[in-house]
Amino acid sequence: MAAFDYAPVIVLLPFLSFLVAIGTAIFARGKNVLPKGGALPGIVAMAGALLLSIWMFVTVEAQGAYDQTLYTWASGPGEGTFTLTFGVLVDQLSAMMLVIVTLVSLLVHVFSLGYMNDEDETGLPRYYAGLGLFSASMLGFVVADNLLMAFMFFELVGLCSWLLIGFWFREPGPPSAAKKAFLVTRFGDYFFLIGVVAVFATFGTSQFSPIGGMEAFPVLAEEALTGSAEGINTFGFDAATWFNIVGLLVLGGVVGKSAQFPLHTWLPDAMEGPTPVSALIHAATMVAAGVFLVARMYGFYALIPTTLAIIAFIGGFTALFAATMGVVKREIKQVLAYSTISQYGYMMLALGGGGYVAATFHLMTHAFFKALLFLGAGSVIIAMHHNENMWDMGGLKERMPVTYYTFLSGSLALAGIFPFAGFWSKDEVLYETLVHGLGGSPLLLAAYAMGLLAVFFTGFYTFRMVLLTFHGEPRSETARNPHGVRWNVKGPLVVLGVLAATAGFANLVPVEKLTGANVDFLHDWLYHGPETLNGEHYSTLLHDVAGYTAADFSVLISAAVSLGMALAGVGLAWMLYNDPSPEEHTAKLGAVKDLWYHNYYQDEFQVWLAETGGLGIARGSDKFDQGVVDGVVNGVSSVSLFSGSRVKRVQTGVVSNYAALLTLGVVVLMVALGLYGGWFL
Amino acid sequence: MVPAQWYLLLAAAVFCIGVFGVLTRSNALMFLMSVELMLNAANINFVAFSLQWGNVTGQTFGLFTMAIAAAEVAIGIGIILVLYRNFRDTDVTSATTMRW
Amino acid sequence: MSLPSVTATLLQSGGALPEWTALAPTLALALTALALLLVDSISPETKNNALLAGTTAVGSFVSLAFSGWYLAAGTGQSGTGGEIVLYGEALVVDGMYLFFSAIFASVAAMVAIASYDYLAGKEYQGEFYALTMLAATGMTLMASANSLASAFVALELASLPSYALVAFLKKNKGSVEAGLKYFLIGALSSAIFVFGISLVYAVTGSLLFSDVAEALGETELVGVAGVGVLMIAGGFAFKTASVPFHFWAPEAYEGAPAPISGFLSSASKAAGFAVAFRVFVEAFSLSAIPEGINWVILFQILAVVTMTLGNFAAATQDTVKRMLAYSSIGQAGYVLIGLAALAGGASSQNGDVMGAAMAHLFVYGFMNTGAFLFIALTEHWGIGRTFEDFNGLASKAPMACAAMALFMFSLAGLPVGGGFFSKYFLFANAVFAGFWWLAALGAINSALSLFYYSRVVKAMWIEDATSEFEIRSKPVGLYAGIMIAAVGTFLLLPAFGPIIETAQTAASALFGA
């Protein structure tokens, strides 16, 4: 297993680049020590990590998965205690994710040369240190082999997002956006933390898969539900009920990180950060972490249909909800932000709908096309001298063809147009949900309907964005003479553009259904994981424990319907905006536009909620703290000090008094004990 | 033979006289003498009950007590001397710089 | 074969060494005292501080080494044939004796090293060290006493040099006053103690612990025996500075030379507990004593009153040294739980509670001595005595102040030093033994103690200096003493396991006998 010995190095390489960059930032301030402000160490580290990840991928294919405890940092003696460890789990899922994360991160590093270095930004070592730590945290999260370790890296990811979103901390917007991102995701993470503790309290372990002497909590949960578990503490609840509670607690962290309703509000604000960071956050690291976590412990979620239905419903709702808001946005990055929320909604929908492979597939394709779109948007933003308003653009098609065609590839993927990547994965998401919904879970059908409707909106806003940005006549002076971009911008765009067009071929389920050719590679890949961590096991669990059954329904009809919806959206956008000087057609929506433009007033609502509810409770607690708690504490302390000052007066300084008190003490004790013991009888 | 309880009463009486002296006399030397009285009350017990029990343990211990009392006095006199040098007095109640 | 088992065959039980060598920890201290007296009589005016302090420290370390070696090799412990009884059963060598000897020797070593600077330029140094060693000898004998006679003699051997040491600064009014008060209360207490012994002798006809226990079981003179037991408890209460025999302590600790304050409040107190543990477990054993003589209740009262009075009085002090003096009374209250949380019958909890108390004394020996040595350092520098005088001291002497902060927090029971575990085990074992209310009172008092301990830290580290410090030098000896104490306090946090095991094994052996 020589290859796997290098698995920790994947995490350590970006961490090393972080150390190098932060060391430079601290010890050589203002001096240009590192070439390219720290980009080169980062690029080298990420390239190394990418190569290692590919090696891991190949090795997993050849030798199967790897799970190894590296360091036990706390262990209790004897029975009934917990062992807390750091371990590395490289199986099919995490190997795939490693490749995605390292690839996107590498491209983001390269792109940053164009976006940050060429624009003469200051504080570059700090920026690259953040990128390095961000990548390292995410990679650590991906290879974590237990829930507690995953939680730690999950939190590190949150910290890094705070650092990077607030990179331009001298401006007013970014620090506040960074705080919002941190606080909102932290809010979800509180539930996650309680969930981790609950998992420990329930199962005594948080391993994802059995290793050494440690059992895995999904396996224990399965045994509990099939009636052969021992030593599981469900705190007086029915096992299934309790597992639902635990699952929902962990889901809190997922909803926060993956920006699902109602904790999605941080993500659009996070656009204040540098665009490459947005690409990293949206495509491969932070937001992906939530969905990946559910996939990682799918063996647990597959046991609890109620939670699955909730996940699916949240996902479907978020997909639609975010897509509608994307329709009316003026800024290119805002549109992309809402599209991210919406697309992660699809992944949640797939997970909830029993489509483990579909979710993973969409996670992969989305990583490529969303990174592409953000980097493309970054390229446009460079060209537009950091003006992000689409109404000031137009006609960029001729002036920046590389960006245009790659961006178009990404947009087609996002909209789900045949044969781009997004088509295959989104289609599979919807298909899985539909067949399981038809198989006897009507709630899934509602979620499916929302997801399907969102396809239309996705097609519309995507091509509204493309048309406004690249087509028509330039609507401003900068759009007429855009700033050029160099190879370091175009290179990543081309790589991702090709991937966005072709990544879908990893799992051609409809083609397989049609022709019988064995081309569902990803499906096969994920079905050959470790015993308790593979797709086949999950589908058995879904069927046997959760009671999901798949109805027989043609994949072609489903694909045709969703493609039709997407084309309708694209077509409408084409009709309205393919115009040399397009109008603001969304204004015709009237009140609905206002509602969408202001994000359903979710921010206002949550602020109101915090101010009325939160502040009220806070004031009450403050009163209680100041009045009752402090009162008691102060009272106790002043009574203590007062009695202390009285008590010490016994010590008069006159030794004769001491002798007298001493004698008195002995006499009192003698009398007391004598009476008690009957000495004088 | 005198009954044992009389010895106990005698010893207790001597002990109480000693305690009385400790409590009422402020002269350091008188304080010391009173303590000696208390020690000798113990010696009465030891010697009397040595006879009562028919072993010499008590009498031996009486000798120990006297020796240690002598050592105690030696130290005590030394301390009283420096007390006199510092406070110009052998009154134990005069040294009250530290209290509370 | 492991090292201890090799050496075990060399030891007394194996017949390779004569039995009296089991007392080597005591003998080393006694010989050091005699050697110092010899030096002192040959050249009474000598101010060769290095020689004197060095001899004392070496003697202490030799004694410590013997204790450690014997503890590891199993001398006098159940593994190698049980306790070794010497000199007509007057003395006994067992795990408890060795454990306490290790405490006394460590404290004596630290005090000797620190005194190197503290005494620089003062007269009668030879006597100072000789008296310290004699007192330490007496303390080890207290821990090994197996008869009331040897207990009394050993107690006086520890006390009499202490009186002289407290009054050592002959021209300092405070020192003399402290010595006077200590001496007078001590004389009164020892008179009460002897009278108690005489009463017990009157009832039982013997002074040997085992005979006393046997005779007490059959006696009808419960009242006389009860008064005797109470008075003997008084003698120990004086040594341990427990209420109502504590009156000497605040003044003696405040007025004495600071190293001596540390010596008395750590080692002398531990010695009092050592002899009290043995006397009350062996001579007044709960399984044999008449029901009317309920000394457990007596110690419960003493523990509660002592810890409460000590802590409350400490909270309102203005000078740091006197605060430490009162806090030392409060700490004695915690240790008294070791006697107060005992239950009749052969309960295995008894050994655990008492062992925890012994372990607390062990840790206390380091952290409390260290705290007083820090006071010695400030006295050496001529810094004032109040809390305010310490303001901003950390900026001038960060190392020493960091050590002092460690001592303070460890004394309060925060997990920065061994004091955390020792207090935790003490309270936890009290709870296991069913005396949760004692543990609760102890915990409340600890919370109060955090207030006044942290005042010192706050003054040193947070407050700004109100006056200029004139720190002329960094005395090597005092610093070394403080650092030994600090390292010891800190290391006892991770290394607390062996200490508590040794202590509880030793205490359980006492109950098993």
A670: distance to nearest CA of chain B, Å?
A: 14
C194/B39 Cβ within 8 A: yes
| Contact between residue A596 and residue A324 where contact means Cβ atoms under 8 Å apart | yes
Bridging pattern class, strands A83-90 and A66-75: antiparallel
C205 close contact with B: CB closer than 8 A? yes
A680 CB near a chain C CB, below 8 Å?
yes
Amino acid, res. A309? A
Q: Which of C170, C176, C194 sits opposite B42 (nearest CB)?
A: C194
Q: In whole angstroms, give the CA distance from residue C127 to residue C415.
A: 40
**Hey, what are A653's tokens?**
């300084």
d(CA C473, CA C494): 33
Residue type, C496: F
The residue of chain C with its CA nearest to that of B79 is: C180
Report DSSP letters for C117-185, one per residue. Answer: HHTTT-S-HHHHHHHHHHHHHHHHHHHHB-BHHHHHHHHHHHHHHHHHHHT-STT-HHHHHHHHHHHHH
The residue behind tokens 């708690």 is: A629
Q: What is the C-alpha separation between C503 and C357, in angstroms, rounded?
A: 8
- Residue (of B51, B56, B62) closest to B3 by Cα position: B51
pLDDT for the residue C236: 94
- Residue A49 exposure: Cα atoms within 13 Å on the Cβ side: 35
Give the DSSP letter of residue A205: -
Q: Which domain holds residue B45?
A: 28-90
Q: Is B16 on the interface with A (CB under 8 A)?
A: no
CB spacing of B82 vs C176 below 8 angstroms: yes
Do B28 and C184 count as a contact with CB atoms less than 8 A apart? yes
Residues in A closer than 8 angstroms to B97, CB to CB, are: 653
- A window 534-593, beta carbon within 8 A of B: none
B49 closest CB neighbour out of C171, C187, C201: C201
Please tell me the predicted confidence (pLDDT) of residue A77: 61
Q: Does the CB of A643 have a partner CB in chain B at under 8 Å?
A: no
The residue ranking higher by pLDDT, B70 or A523, is B70
Q: Which of A437, A439, A418, A440 is nearest to A427 (CA)?
A: A418
Question: What 3-state DSSP class applies to C214?
Answer: helix
Q: Write the residue in C188, C230, C316 that is nearest to A644 by C-beta.
A: C316
Residue C208, pLDDT above cutoff 50 = yes
Residue reference for tokens 């909620």: A609
Closest Cα in chain A to B98: A653
| Closest chain B residue to the Cα of A660, Cα to Cα | B23
Which structure tokens are listed for A487?
Answer: 């190879």
Residues with Cβ within 8 Å of C317's Cβ and at least 6 positions away in sequence, in order, are A648, C323, C326, C452
CA distance B61 to chain C (A): 7
Tally Cβ neighbours within 10 Å of residue A418. Answer: 16
- Report the residue of chain A nearest C241, measured CA to CA: A662
Residue A80: pLDDT over 70: no
Tell which residue, C335, C331, C364, C367, has the closest CA to residue C449: C331
Distances (CA, A) of B63 to B39, B85, C142, C340, C402: 11, 33, 20, 34, 52
Report the alpha-carbon distance of residue A487 to residue A114 in Å, rounded. Answer: 8
Is B67 within a domain?
A: yes
Closest listed residue to residue C352, CA positions, set C295, C426, C413, C418: C426
Q: Contact A648/C243, CB-based, under 8 Å? A: no
Q: Which of A220-224, A314-318, A516-520 has the lowest mean pLDDT?
A: A516-520
Question: Token pair for residue A146?
Answer: 């237990």
Chain-chain contact of B38 with C206 (C-beta, under 8 angstroms): no
**Measured between alpha carbons, how far is C130 from C157 in angstroms, rounded to an integer?**
12
Q: Phi first, then psi: give them for residue C296, nearest 5 degrees.
A: -65, -45
Q: Say how far residue A192 (Cα) sits from the centre of its chain.
A: 12
Residue C16 has pLDDT above 90, yes or no: no
Tell me which chain C residue has its CA closest to the CA of residue A662: C244
Cα angle vertex A326, ends A321, A331, to 5°? 150
Q: Suggest the residue from A648, A656, A661, A664 to mutate for an interface test with chain B (most B CBs closer than 10 A).
A: A656
In the complex, which subunits touch A with 3 or more CB pairs below 8 angstroms? B, C
Q: What is the per-residue pLDDT for C1?
A: 36
Asked if the structure places residue B15 within a domain, the reply is no
Q: Is C88 on the interface with B (CB under 8 A)?
A: no
CB A421 within 8 A of CB A501: yes
Whether the pLDDT of residue C329 is over 90: the answer is yes
Where residue C346 falls among pLDDT bands split at 50, 70, 90?
Answer: low
Mean pLDDT (whole number) for A282-287: 81
A62 near B CB under 8 A? no
Closest chain C C-alpha to B100 CA, distance in angstroms: 8
Residues C19-45 have pLDDT tens digits of 888 899 999 999 999 999 999 888 887
Q: Does C221 touch chain B (CB under 8 A)?
A: no
User: For C142-147, what is the mean pLDDT?
Assistant: 94
What residues in A contact B26, CB-CB < 8 Å? 656
pLDDT band at A208 (very low <50, low <70, confident <90, very high): confident
Contact yes or no for C267/C139 (Cβ under 8 A): yes
**Rg, chain C, Cα only:** 22
Tell me whether B13 touches chain C (CB under 8 Å): no
C222 in A contact zone (CB under 8 Å): yes
Cβ-nearest to A651 among B23, B95, B100: B100
Strand duo A83-90 + C91-93: pairing: unpaired
How many contacts does A have with B, using Cβ atoms within 8 A? 28
Residue predicted with more confidence, C111 or A327: C111
Mutate: best of C247, C301, C444, partner A, most A CBs <10 A: C247
SS3 of residue C503 by DSSP: helix
pLDDT band of residue C68 (cuts 50, 70, 90) is very high
Task: Report pLDDT for C453.
Answer: 92
8 Å CB contact of C226 and A673: yes
Tell whether ipTM is more than 0.95.
yes
How is chain B classified by DSSP, letter by letter? ---HHHHHHHHHHHHHHHHHHHHH--BHHHHHHHHHHHHHHHHHHHHHHHHHHT-SHHHHHHHHHHHHHHHHHHHHHHHHHHHHHHHS--BTTS--SS--
Residue C283 DSSP label: I
The DSSP secondary-structure symbol of C391 reads: T
Q: Could you tell me how far CA A225 lies from the centroid of its own chain?
A: 29
State pLDDT tens for residues A492-519.
888 888 888 888 887 777 777 777 777 7
Rounded Cα gap, residues B94 and C512, in angstroms: 51
Q: Does B66 touch chain C (CB under 8 A)?
A: no
Check B82 against C152: CB less than 8 A apart: no
Residue C244 and residue A662: Cβ atoms within 8 Å?
Answer: yes
CA-CA distance, A237 to A445, in Å (whole number)? Answer: 30
d(CA A616, CA C454): 35
Contact criterion met (CB below 8 Å) for A663 and C191: no
* Sign of the CA dihedral running A488, A489, A492, A493: negative
* Contact: C184, B42; criterion CB under 8 Å: no
User: Are C144 and C84 a contacting pair, CB within 8 Å?
Assistant: no
Neighbours of C3 (CB within 10 A): 10
Residue A190 confidence (pLDDT) above 50 = yes
The tokens for A221 are 């949960």
* Closest residue on chain C to B97 (Cα): C174
Give the per-residue pLDDT at A451. Answer: 87
Q: Is the pLDDT of residue C244 over 60?
A: yes
pLDDT in tens, A637-675: 888 888 888 888 888 888 889 999 999 999 999 999 888
Total of domains in chain B: 1
Whether B13 is in a domain gets the answer: no
How far from C48 is each of A267, A532, B52, C32, C108, CA to CA, in Å?
77, 78, 55, 16, 19
| B7 assigned to some structural domain | no
The reply to whether residue B23 touches residue A656, judged by beta carbons under 8 angstroms, is yes
Contact A655 C184 (CB under 8 A): yes
The SS3 of residue C86 is: strand
Q: Which chains touch B (3 or more CB pairs under 8 A)?
A: A, C
C479/C460 Cα distance (integer angstroms):
17
- Which chains pack against C, by 3+ Cβ pairs within 8 A? A, B
Q: HEC string of C40-57?
A: HHHCCCCCCHHHHHHHHH
Between CA A458 and CA A340 the distance in angstroms is: 11
Q: Could you tell me which residue, C468 or C337, shows the higher pLDDT? A: C337
Looking at beta carbons, which residues of chain A come within 8 Å of C234?
A: 666
Prediction pTM value? 0.66
pLDDT at residue C7 greater than cutoff 70:
no
Q: Does B97 sit within 8 Å of A654, measured CB to CB?
A: no
Report the percent of chain C where pLDDT is more than 90.
58
Selection from A599, A547, A41, A542 nearest residue A299 by Cα: A542
Please, which pLDDT band fits residue A254 given cuts at 50, 70 and 90? Answer: confident
Q: Do A666 and C192 touch (CB under 8 A)?
A: yes
Flag whether residue B76 sits within 8 Å of chain C, measured between CB atoms.
yes
Mean pLDDT of A287-308: 87
C:117-176 residues touching chain B, CB 8 A cutoff: 149, 152-153, 156, 160, 163-164, 167, 170-171, 173-174, 176
In a domain, B14, yes or no: no
Residue to mutate among A637, A669, A675, A676, with most C CBs inside 10 A, is: A669
In angstroms, the separation between the Cα of residue B11 and the nearest Cα of chain C is 9
Mean of pLDDT values over C187-208: 94
User: DSSP labels for A243-286?
Assistant: HHHHHHHHHHHHHHHTT-TTS-THHHHGGGS-HHHHHHHHHTSH
Distance from CA of C173 to the nearest CA of B (A): 6
* Contact B51/A at CB under 8 A: no
| Proportion of chain C above pLDDT 70, given as a percent | 96
Name which of C157, C314, C182 is nearest C238 in CA terms. Answer: C182
Instruction: Check CB contact under 8 Å for B43 and C198.
Output: yes
Nearest to C27 by CA among C107, C129, C141, C112: C141
CB nearest to B35's CB, from C188, C199, C251: C188
